[in-house]
Amino acid sequence: MADATVRVVDATGVSIEWERVDAGVAAEKATGKYLPETIFESLARTNCGLKGPVGTPIASGHPSVNVALRKRLNLFVNFRPVRMLPGLDTRFNDLPIDMVIFRENTEDLYSGIEHEVVPDVVESLKVITRTASARIAQAAFEYAAKEHRKKVVAIHKANIMKMSDGLFLRCCREVAANFPQIEYSELIVDNACMQLVIRPETFDVLVLPNLYGDIVSDLCAGLVGGLGIVPGANLGLTCAVFEAVHGSAPDIAGKGMANPTALMQSARLMLAHLGERDAAIRMQRAIEKVYAEKKHLTRDVGGAAGTEEFTQAVIDAL
């Protein structure tokens, strides 16, 4: 998928010198580390990265590669735009779904602070701070104002977690007061999930703590065709790492079946971030043209093409 995406970015005509570094299982076999220092050395030079899917063994004691990368680089904004592509046959394809998720990216239950109190009783700590909550709210409202978005909704569970999610809500309210032109509202996370399925077209910008943001992102991806579609960006003050919303799929790795759309759309966000807006627009139009024609789509979105055929179709469209 990463190779396919690099080919499409290069086909836009933008001159990029790529540095390739391994993470995850491949890196562990070569260096003994899932997240070797070569990654951080490269990002220290470039301040920008395009990250392919990386798996971490489940319930093995290994820290998540994704979480470790975000925390060490202080990539506190997880930005995930959710929009319908043309030509997809979903139950929502007639709705104007166009929402943006701002997920806090550095704390909450993803802090990974756990311990066994007594045998078979485990305690996990949910960490919510004013600093992290205020800056993700500020990022959401600044984006909404810049892009002329009309509404921001904060998603929470403060009716139960009155202190932690309560603090998150107070920060959102304080930031919202500085943007009177933007409509601000709040939804409890379980109600928000129901509303997203019933009337997704009514949502605009969503701001959420880390765990809720992760779950709601996947739910929203399901509204527009699946995890193979939705892009993402991890943004900090000095560094940005762009990646698909979905994780790894080792069962199909190397078989030429994977849909690279989400990573390609993440690379489109990267181009815009780097100031290459014309190339970003042309790349997006090429992807949309391939979807509208429906001739070269991958299996997960109703087609029969493999990764190579889809990639070549996008390059031809460019």
Please name the amino acid found at residue 181: Q
Q: How many helices (H) and strands (E) does the chain have?
A: 11, 10
**Is residue 55 predicted with pLDDT exceeding 60?**
yes
pTM of the model: 0.89
Q: Which of 263, 140, 248 is nearest to 204 (CA)?
A: 140
Domains assigned to the chain = 1-64+240-318 (3.40.718.10), 91-223 (3.40.718.10)
Q: 155-213: per-residue pLDDT in tens?
A: 999 999 999 999 999 999 999 999 999 999 999 999 999 999 999 999 999 999 999 99
**Is residue 91 predicted with pLDDT exceeding 90?**
no
Sheet holding 77-83, edge to edge: 48-51, 240-244, 231-235, 77-83, 98-104, 205-208, 151-156, 183-188
**Is residue 60 predicted with pLDDT exceeding 60?**
no
Q: Please tell me the predicted confidence (pLDDT) of residue 257.
A: 75
Q: Which two tokens stand for residue 3?
A: 């190779």
Which is it for the CA torsion 80, 89, 313, 248, positive or negative?
positive
CA angle 62/3/72 to nearest 5° reads 35
Q: Which two tokens stand for residue 14?
A: 């933008």
Measure CA 10 to chain center: 22
Q: Is residue 106 within 8 Å of 210, Cβ to Cβ? A: yes
**DSSP string of 233-294?**
EEE-SS-EEEEESS---TTTTTTT----HHHHHHHHHHHHHTT-HHHHHHHHHHHHHHHHH-
Q: Is residue 206 within 8 Å of 100, Cβ to Cβ? A: yes
Distances (CA, A) of 109 to 28, 38, 211, 229: 26, 28, 7, 26
Q: What is the mean pLDDT of residues 266-280?
A: 96
Q: Please tell me the predicted confidence (pLDDT) of residue 246.
A: 74
Beta carbons within 8 Å of 32's beta carbon, 6+ residues apart: none
Confidence at 247, pLDDT banded by 50, 70, 90: low
**Is residue 248 predicted with pLDDT exceeding 70?**
no
Reduced to 3 states (helix: H, G, I; strand: E, B; else coil), residue 317 is helix
> Worst-scoring range by mean pLDDT, 52-56, 126-130, 281-285?
52-56
Please name the amino acid found at residue 151: K
User: CA-CA distance, 270 to 318, in Å (whole number)?
Assistant: 17
User: CA-CA distance, 101 to 213, in Å (whole number)?
Assistant: 7
| Average pLDDT along the chain | 91
Which is it for the CA torsion 42, 244, 143, 102, positive or negative?
negative
DSSP β-bridge partners for residue 234: 78, 241
